[in-house]
Amino acid sequence: MYTTLYPLLGKNSPESHFDIRFEAQPQLDIPIHIHDFFEILFFTAGAGTHHIGRRSLAVGPGSLFFLRPYTLHRLQLQPGSRFFVLTFDQPYLQLPNHIDVMDSTGFDFRRYPMMALFLLQRYLEYRLDGAALPLARDLCELLRKEQAQPGLCSQEMMRSYLAIFLVGAYRRHEQTIENILNSGVCTVQGREAITRTFQWIQSGLGGKLTLEDAARQVFLSPTYLARILKRETGKTFLELVSEKRLEKSSEMLLYTALSVHEIARAVGFEDAGYFAKWFRRELGVTPSGYRSQKQD
């Protein structure tokens, strides 16, 4: 099992900012991967499991998944599964440039409610049923038709269809979303502390990182920091550090010519052999094997 980094919108031209396709006969086991765009998966038939980070969610008719950029995920499907795939970048959503869609802890959900679908995917299981299901399917077909046969103001039409799709999904789960937002999951102190913790982890991947040192950086007790990290991200401090080291080392293997030993040191491993064993345990392939697979 290994990670694939898919570039923005795959095979589309650099000018593309939106794509939609229908997978009538999909690959049944899509390996764990990440990509640098937003992705919506809308299932019209089938069954299976969608692994998002460390969560495993059931797939069925009406299942919806809202994936923000750089989300690790894997699909394991049963024969007969069919689904729409919608992909787009941040400019397509026409959000202000200063908006950080990667930081759920500091996001203004009240001002940009539809983005809650992506940023709260870690907490929720989205599913459409009843009249909402055929409506969503019809909107996807309208998007496909407009993309295949563009006409006057096609981009505006497609953005409108996408907006209706997102609003419909939000309304279907509005009460659940509101309950999460009102539950205190994202307190101001928690958001600021978590943001600073993430920044500290990212800047110190080459050294020793401990919960105690992180807590000192954000002026909290280790116990309280551990609690809000788990509450907000669903992960422990060590799991977050490991995830960041895995992301960083994977990127360096793909995009630099540094040796495995140099990369190991850059992400906090003095022993390259231990780094290789850890990397293989996490992704099922050695660092050298990972690099070779991507270069083939």
Please write the tens of the pLDDT for every residue from 75-121: 999 999 999 999 998 888 887 766 766 555 556 677 788 888 998 88
The two domains 5-181 and 188-295 share their CATH topology (first three levels equal): no
Length of the chain (residues): 296
How high is the pLDDT of residue 183?
67
Q: What is the pLDDT of residues 173-210, one digit of tens each?
A: 999 888 877 765 555 456 777 888 999 999 999 999 99
Half-sphere CA count of 96, side-chain side, radius 13 A: 6
- More confidently predicted of 186 and 153: 153
In this prediction the pTM is: 0.62
Alpha helices, DSSP H, located in the chain: 90-93, 116-119, 132-148, 154-172, 174-181, 188-203, 211-217, 222-233, 237-255, 260-266, 272-283, 287-295
Residues 6+ apart with CB under 8 A from 140: 20, 22, 42, 84, 86, 165
How high is the pLDDT of residue 294?
63
Q: Are 5 and 288 in contact (CB under 8 A)?
A: no
Q: Is the pLDDT of residue 4 over 50?
A: no
Q: Which CATH superfamily is domain 5-181 in?
A: Regulatory protein AraC (2.60.120.280)
Q: Is the pLDDT of residue 136 over 90?
A: yes
For the chain, the straight-line distance linking the first and the last C-alpha, in angstroms and rounded, comes to 16
- More confidently predicted of 226 and 36: 226
Q: Of 255, 260, 225, nearest to 240 (Cα)?
A: 225
Q: Which CATH superfamily is domain 188-295 in?
A: Homeodomain-like (1.10.10.60)
Q: What is the pLDDT of residues 207-261, one digit of tens each?
A: 999 999 998 887 677 887 888 888 888 899 999 999 999 999 999 998 899 999 9
User: How do the domains of the chain map onto residue ranges?
Assistant: 5-181, 188-295
What whole-number percentage of the chain has pLDDT above 70?
86
Q: Of 123, 223, 217, 228, nearest to 176 (Cα)?
A: 123
Half-sphere CA count of 48, side-chain side, radius 13 A: 23
Lowest mean pLDDT among 68-77, 90-99, 153-162: 90-99
For range 68-81, the mean pLDDT: 90
